Structure 1
Amino acid sequence: MAQRSEYDARHLSVLEGLEAVRKRPGMYIGSTDSRGLMHCLWEIIDNSVDEALAGYASTISIVLHRDDSVEVSDDGRGIPVDVEPRTGLSGLEVVFTKLHAGGKFGGGSYNASGGLHGVGASVVNALSARLDAKVTRAGKVHAMSFRRGEPGTFAGQRPDPEAEFTAAQDGSPVEVVGKAKRGVTGTSIRYWADRHIFTADARFDDAELTARARQTAFLVPGLRITVRDERGPEGPVEEVFQFDGGIGEFTDFLSPDPSVTDIWRIQGQETFTERVPVLGDDGHSHMQDVERDCEVDVALRWGTGYETTVRSFVNIIATPKGGTHLAGFEQALLKSFRKAVEANARRLKAGNDKLEKDDVLAGLTAVVTVRVAEPQFEGQTKEILGTPAARQIVSRLVEKQLTGRLSSTRRAEKQQATSVMEKVVSEMKSRISARMHKETQRRKNALESSTMPAKLVECRSKDVDSSELFIVEGDSALGTAKLARSSDYQALLPIRGKILNVQKASVSDMLSNAECAALLQVIGAGSGRSFDIDAARYGKVVLMTDADVDGAHIRTLLLTLFFRYMRPMIEQGRVFAAVPPLHRVEIIHPGRRANEVRYTYSEAELYQLLSTLEHEGLRYKEPIQRYKGLGEMDADQLSETTMDPARRSLRRIRVQDAEEAERIFDLLMGSVVAPRKDFIIQGSEAVAKERIDA
């Protein structure tokens, strides 16, 4: 029989003050790893940013010290140091020791701010082994220190979290430690995260900090943010961010591809009524209807690509998981474009199909910001906006102004509107085409495949992981490859010459191109945003082109197609380039010993081999065979050098840095000629004339 356990009031725990934060830190900062450590830093930085947002600060300095501490300083008004009448404590102590205390609860200090729960600074204090605060106000420099949330003083002149600590007994231990020039104000916070709370591997991420600082500088035009990292072995590294163009400049910075439209700005303001608890003169809260202002500022542009980059913010606080403001933005986008495309359906050849959200978002780069007093977030991490009124306000303003853009009769705006509508309709057609491919093009053997291109030479295996598709340059190489391949698992698809340059072409042009369409159909996983790599019919795709300039050009065109429309194939390392040899050297052995064949893959390798043979006194047949193309090899040679897995060499195509790869593809294959010309002229200096295959 189970024993009865006692459970009465003495078993209940009441956590006082900041004790709850130290007991359950994940509730306040999400986690205790590097992500939580960075969240604490954001809380302190955001307090300084709120001063700038209110117009009181123009500079913020962030320093990562070598002793694992971080310091954030601003030239704002400074945290109040006078006595708060209800608690009898200084404002500085209230801010850092009391949960849900601060100047952002509707007291008029901040119209719109990132902080609103009044727990950010106190949570950071509770999770810090030591925190030093310095406030400059009214010609004086005030200082106060805390140990794990408790105010007091540390011994010694050098700041050290392990120094002897004496807790404060009575009153607020705010010390005046210096004088300041008239009119100089500001706050400086330096803290050491408590390593008893955070995991051993938790670290400040300088790259993430730099990105956040740059982002904030974009969102608050004119604000100067300095990030200094003193932890590196080569000395301090400092970066300064200041932008005057606002979110329009931010959108331009985020844009990864050539533009279809200029950057369009949508701005406006509306009021809404919200029922909130308001503290009365009697000290009690009463529900009351309060009129709020909601400012909306959106910057957006469409590019030639299909990737979507949308960043959303509330009072400059990023909301990576969206919320009501982003939902209203996307709702207005779809509604505006559906209306515009229906009005121009005949000219755009849109048919009766309806646009979907992904069609409109393809190639879009946008920054969506709203400013509202006391926004409702879902949790202290503030990743999702919950204010219901924001959805309708953003939706109305975006729909009205975007509809005006799309129906404008001004020449420049009309041309851009037409271009972006054509792109959206092309994306719709691409989606529909890809869906049809996905539904009909599953793995089939040669007998079942009636819809595959006639020129596809299929393999017998149905095992996707072991199968290989060789894209072969020209029909002459196809004939040799048929004899050289293993028909069990190697399929062949010939292409005629140079395919369409899809970096310049539209989606509809790409789909109507026979070679591109055949390749998409054979791989069978769709294209673009709807590409489903699990539906790909082959485990490897090998680009087998001639080892000359034309072959390299064709390979680049094929890679451009894969990079733009089948990128997951490259990201998962399933696209390869064959490495056919350039030379065949037959070494003559004396006596009855059979001659030996060696292959070389470059001029340097050939000269090295010939030098070695000469040194060893061996002769070779002349002239040395120089392969101009794959068609010059016989089946045994092609199999031995290029197709047989036991003896061939393949070069795996990888995308280590997607942004850099995008830039290079656009430089080499894009529609802007001038940068490519400069690249060729600069590179020509490094090319020896004798290396040119003419």
Structure 2
Amino acid sequence: MPTTAAKKTATSKSASEYDAHHLQVLEGLEAVRKRPGMYIGSTDSRGLMHCLWEIIDNAVDEALGGHCDRVEVLLHADGSVEVRDNGRGVPVDIEPRTGLTGVELVYTRLHAGGKFGGGSYTASGGLHGVGASVVNALSARLDVEVDRGGKTYAMSFRRGEPGVFSDVAGAQGRKDPGHDFTPYTSTSDLSVIGKAKRGVTGTRVRYWADGQIFLKDAAFDLDGLVGRARQTSFLVPGLTIVIRDERGEEPTEEVFLHDGGISEFCDYLAPDAPVTDTWRLQGTGTFTETVPVLDGKGHMVPTEVERECGVDIALRWGTGYDTTLRSFVNIIATPKGGTHVAGFEQSMLKVLRSQVAANARRLKAGTDKVEKDDVLAGLTAVVTVRLAEPQFEGQTKEVLGTSAVRQIVSKVLETELTSFLTSTKRPAKQQAASVLEKVVAEMKSRISARLHKETQRRKTALESSSLPAKLADCRSSDPENTELFIVEGDSALGTAKLARSSDHQALLPIRGKILNVQKASVTDMLGNAECAAIIQVIGAGSGRTFDLESARYGKVIIMTDADVDGAHIRTLLLTLFFRYMRPLVEAGRVYAAVPPLHRIEVVNPGSKANEVIYTYSEAEMRRTMSSLQRRNKKVKPMQRYKGLGEMDADQLAETTMDPRQRTLRKVTLRDIESASTVFELLMGGEVAPRRDFIIDSADRLDTERIDA
């Protein structure tokens, strides 16, 4: 054991050895390779895609400036990726202060580029001047070709260092980062490798991601690339973006071009039927900020500059209650929002509160206040702002930090949206009324759900229950073990009461076909007796305020007749659950009972009891009957169930309700967007798409499945 004095000596020695010469200064691109996560977020597939979008965004910035109308992205079979554009081309002349060509400067120096207020870009996605150089630093090889001034220039890099690969120097064979590389020693060389057609300009960048940096399973996400390419084509009208994937057996190519801008984007994103047209709100505002500017002596001097911020918003309300909001700054997505989104939401709430208050008597809004969730329910919006040198939080640009933008967006939206909502033109007036009615309906639904949540708990035997009188509740209050059967009609209810286990199985009858909530408004849904009863009995609210933990039953089982009408009722109920109680479906707590279609009683000789066989389809029944005939079995006349009411209690319990013997079909939700599309197609208000679907699908219909 060392003594206390020895410990003190060791500690002081360790401290004295930590001097300034132990500090490392990472210069140039060394810092990028040492800490790649600081620049691209991660070294998995997300970081790989971030690098690709840094290069694509440089090309798109040319399009924003009106210098480019085509961008091509090629995923090569060898794992490299290439981005081509027909913009102005990276400058090839010498930058006087560094003595480097523009190409080498852009791809080897951090914080170098044309987006720092030099007048080349008024609004761009790349702002920090590190995108291209970071990608270069993290690439095993990067090749740049520039068409400019009638010539084609080329330069190659290995892990950020300029030089010449042997294949470029004349060796035959395809380009590969494994070829011999000779770095430049004293001066670099921007080679002229050919002639460009007169008036043709552009840049081509091809790079191989460095296996020393990125994880082995990092790969380019084609779906993500296609999705963002489509998004960018909406944001830059007139820009053609081509995505070509050559990695598979057969190359695939997708081309995107949208002239409608964010209005078209808003329509594309909308998941539901429209309540309003897509409204376009545009405006500008100015603000001043203090930025460091180089003076004539090369010193950074704090200077106040005036900025202009352009605001362009497309929005529309739909019949649903989900909110789809996409925000962008100079076409760069800001998934975590920022000051522009804060200004948007602040102004939306202010304007709608004001309009509801002004029309409170007509809307029967009472004295309750509209909240943000009421306003955003069913809203699809695309919020874009354009300004020079915005402040982002980090290189990944997920949050806008320029504080002045909040007030500008808020003011533009307040002016333009108020103009729409107070318009005296007939179509606009009708749409404004629909929006206000929807907002008030959402407010009432929220308040009703809150009150219901506060007061509607399981009642003890000493308390009075406000649950519907027709509910045959169960004795257990443990949601883990309880089941709610929604049954079709009073006749089935009578049999089900005798067949159930009253300890844990509750019954709620409904009268025929409930309201199609895909077409109806929230107000109509809440006013429908059957829908309101279902929501009340489940006890977890509806829509945005649905609280899964408050659900009174562990399973909700739809038990309808095994015929066409029963299937229709089941579909209407599933539509209600999908639109207003979706977490219940997502949690796998909604089921469909599977009652049998036939009862076959096999006569056994002697005193042996007869055997009963239940079948659940025509095909199964035929197979069973054929098998019995081959075995010379005698059967009584077969019983065909047209409805649940034709079964006696023992049969219903044995086949449909007893957990030990029944069959349940769980309702699952794998793809929300696809499910939304199907519900809207089959149950929505637009008749034409449904008619086309029926006509197109008629030849695939199995007529044997129709119970007519």
- TM class by shorter-chain length? over 0.9
Amino acid at match of 2:524: D
Q: Distance in 2 between the 1:387 and 1:367 partners?
A: 19
What is the CA–CA distance in structure 2 between the aligned matches of 1:127 and 1:447, rounded to whole Å? 72
Q: Is the 8 A contact 2:321 2:379 kept in 1?
A: yes
Give the alignment partner of residue 190 of structure 1, picking from 206, 231, 243.
Answer: 206
Residues 690, 266 of structure 1: CA spacing in aligned structure 2 closer, same or farther, 3 A cutoff?
Answer: closer
Residue 642 of structure 1, aligned match among 642, 650, 656: 656
CA deviation after TM superposition for structure 1 residue 684, in Å = 4.6
Q: Secondary structure of the equivalent of 2:120? A: coil
Match of 1:285 among 296, 300, 325: 300
Q: Is the 8 A contact 1:154 1:164 kept in 2?
A: yes
**In the TM superposition, what is the alpha-carbon distance from 1:474 to its structure 2 partner?**
1.3
- Paired residue secondary structure (1:322): coil
Structure 1 residues 374, 443: CA separation in 2 closer, same or farther (over 3 Å shift)?
same
1:118 alignment partner in structure 2: 129
Aligned match of 1:511 in 514, 517, 526? 526
1:16 aligns with 2:14: no
SS at the partner of 1:286?
strand
Task: Tell me, yes or no, if the aligned pair for 1:446 and 1:460 is still in contact at 8 Å.
Answer: no
Q: Find out whether 1:220 has 2:236 as its counterpart.
A: yes
Contact 2:562 2:642 in 1 (8 A): yes
Q: 1:572 aligned to 582, 587, 598, which one?
A: 587
- Which residue, out of 656, 661, 667, partners 1:653? 667
Q: Deviation string for 1:15-74 (max 9, x for gaps)?
A: 111111111111111111111111111100000000000010110000111111111110
Tell me which of 175, 178, 203 is aligned to 2:191. Answer: 175
Q: Which residue of 2 aligns with 1:490?
A: 505
Give distance in 1, aligned partners of 2:464 and 2:530: 18
Task: Report the Cα distance in structure 1 between the residues aligned to 2:122 and 2:254, rounded to whole angstroms.
Answer: 30
- Which AA in structure 2 matches 1:496? R
Q: Is the Cα–Cα contact under 8 Å of residues 445 and 459 in structure 1 kept in the other structure?
A: no
The alpha carbon displacement at 1:692 in A equals 4.1
Query: Structure 1 residues 497 and 447, CA, compared in 2 at 3 Å: closer, same or farther?
Result: farther
Q: Whole-Å Cα distance in 2 between the matches of residues 200 and 455 of structure 1?
A: 62
* Alignment partners' CA distance in 2, 1:549 and 1:654: 22
Q: Which amino acid aligns with 2:150?
A: G
Structure 2: give runs of 5+ residues left out of the alignment. 168-172
CA RMSD of aligned residues (A): 1.4
Cα distance 1:440–1:182, how it changes in 2: closer, same or farther (>3 A)?
A: same
Kept in 2, the 8 Å contact 1:277–1:288? The answer is: yes
Tell me if structure 2 keeps the 8 A contact 1:133–1:188. yes
1:91 corresponds to 2:105: no
- The residue matched to 2:189 in structure 1 has which SS? coil
Code of the residue aligned with 1:425 in structure 2: it is V
Aligned positions of 1:334-349 closer than 5 A: 334-349=349-364
Query: What does residue range 304-343 of structure 1 map to in structure 2 within 5 Å?
Result: 304-343=319-358
Q: In structure 2, the residue corresponding to 1:62 is in which secondary structure?
A: strand
Q: Which amino acid aligns with 2:86?
A: D
- Could you report, residue by residue, the CA deviation over 1:89-128 in whole angstroms, capped at 9, with x for unpaired residues? 1111111111111110000000110111111111111111
Q: What letter is aligned with 1:467?
A: T
Q: Does 1:67 align with 2:78?
A: yes
Which residue matches 1:581?
596
The residue correspondences of 1:429-468 to structure 2 (distance < 5 A) are 429-444=444-459, 448=463, 450-468=465-483
SS at match of 1:368: strand
1:663 corresponds, among 642, 654, 677, to 677
The answer as to 2:689 corresponding to 1:675 is: yes
Q: 1:270 to 1:691 in 2, by over 3 A?
A: closer
Contact 2:459–2:465 at 8 Å: present in 1 too? no
Residue type of the alignment partner of 1:658: I
Asked if 1:625 corresponds to 2:639, the answer is: yes
Aligned residue for 1:416, secondary structure, equals helix
Amino acid at match of 1:590: P
Partners of 1:278 and 1:443 lie apart in 2 by 68
Per-residue deviation, 1:313: 0.5
CA contact (8 A) 1:96 1:125 kept: yes
- Cα offset, 1:673, TM superposition: 2.5
Supply the distance in 2 between the matched residues of 1:279 and 1:689 (Cα, whole angstroms). 79
Cα distance, 1:688 vs. partner?
Answer: 6.1
Query: How far 1:163 sits from its partner (Å)?
Result: 1.6
Q: Secondary structure at the match of 2:383?
A: strand
Is residue 128–residue 149 contact of structure 1 (8 Å, CA) maintained in 2?
Answer: yes
Normalized against structure 2, the TM-score is what? 0.96
5 Å-filtered alignment, 1:523-562, equals 523-562=538-577
Question: Which of 676-685 and 20-29 deviates more?
Answer: 676-685
Task: Give the Cα–Cα distance (whole angstroms) in 2 for the partners of residues 316 and 184 of structure 1.
Answer: 26
Deviation at 1:468, TM superposition (A): 1.2
* Percentage of pairs with the same residue: 72
Structure 1 CA distance, aligned partners of 2:614 and 2:464? 38
Question: 1:470 aligns to what SS in structure 2?
Answer: strand
Pick one of 228, 231, 248 that aligns with 2:247. 231
Q: Which amino acid aligns with 2:299?
A: H
Report 1:118-267 matches (<5 A). 118-156=129-167, 157-232=173-248, 234-267=249-282
2 CA distance for matches of 1:402 and 1:133?
A: 47
Decide whether the 8 Å contact of 1:444 with 1:462 is kept in 2.
no
Greater Cα shift, 529-538 or 59-68: 529-538
* Partner residue in 2 for 1:417: 432
Distance in 2, matches of 1:192 and 1:668, equals: 47
User: How many residues matched?
Assistant: 692
Within the candidate set 76, 84, 95, 2:87 is matched to 76
Q: Distance in 2 between matches of 1:673 and 1:246?
A: 28
Whether the aligned pair in 2 keeps the contact of 1:446 and 1:459 (CA below 8 Å) is no
**Deviation (angstroms), 1:682:** 4.4
**Deviates most, 468-477 or 579-588:** 468-477
- Mapped partners of 2:114, 2:523: distance in 1: 56
For 1:667 and 1:104, how far apart are their aligned partners in 2?
A: 47
Q: Is the 8 A contact 2:89 2:147 kept in 1?
A: yes
Is residue 7 from structure 1 mapped to residue 23 from structure 2 by the alignment? no
Residue matched to 2:170: none
Structure 2 distance, partners of 1:137, 1:22, is: 31
Where structure 1 has 5 or more consecutive residues not aligned to the other structure, the ranges are none
SS in 1 for 2:385: strand
- 1:445/1:458 contact within 8 Å kept: no
Matched residue type, 1:462? S
Superposed CA deviations along residues 232-272 of structure 1, whole A, max 9, x for unmatched, are 2x311100000111111111111111111111111112221
Per-residue CA distance 1:438-467 (angstroms, 9 max, x = gap): 222234456656122222222222322222
Distance (Å, rounded) in 2 between the aligned partners of 1:68 and 1:512: 59
Per-residue deviation, residues 277-322 of structure 1 (Å, max 9, x unmatched):
1111111111111011111111111111111111111100011111
- Superposed displacement of residue 513, structure 1: 1.4
> Which has the higher mean CA deviation after the structures are superposed, 454-463 or 178-187?
454-463
Quick check: 499-508 or 202-211, which moved more? 499-508
Cα 1:296–1:690 shift into 2, 3 Å: closer
The whole-number CA distance in structure 1 between the counterparts of 2:70 and 2:704 is 58
Contact 1:61/1:225 (CA < 8 Å) preserved in 2?
yes
Post-superposition Cα deviations, 1:488-533, rounded to whole Å, max 9, x if no partner, equal 2221111111111111111111112111111111111111011111
Q: 1:592 aligns with which of 607, 611, 615?
A: 607
Please give the alpha-carbon distance, in whole angstroms, between the structure 2 residues aligned to 1:402 and 1:524: 37
Once residues 303 and 143 of structure 1 are traced to their aligned partners in structure 2, the CA distance between those partners, rounded to angstroms, is 52
Deviation digits for residues 308-344 of structure 1 (CA, Å, limit 9, x no counterpart) = 1111111000111111111111111111111111111
Tell me which moved more, 65-74 or 664-673: 664-673
Secondary structure class of the residue paired with 1:554: helix
Counterpart of 1:402, as a letter, is: L
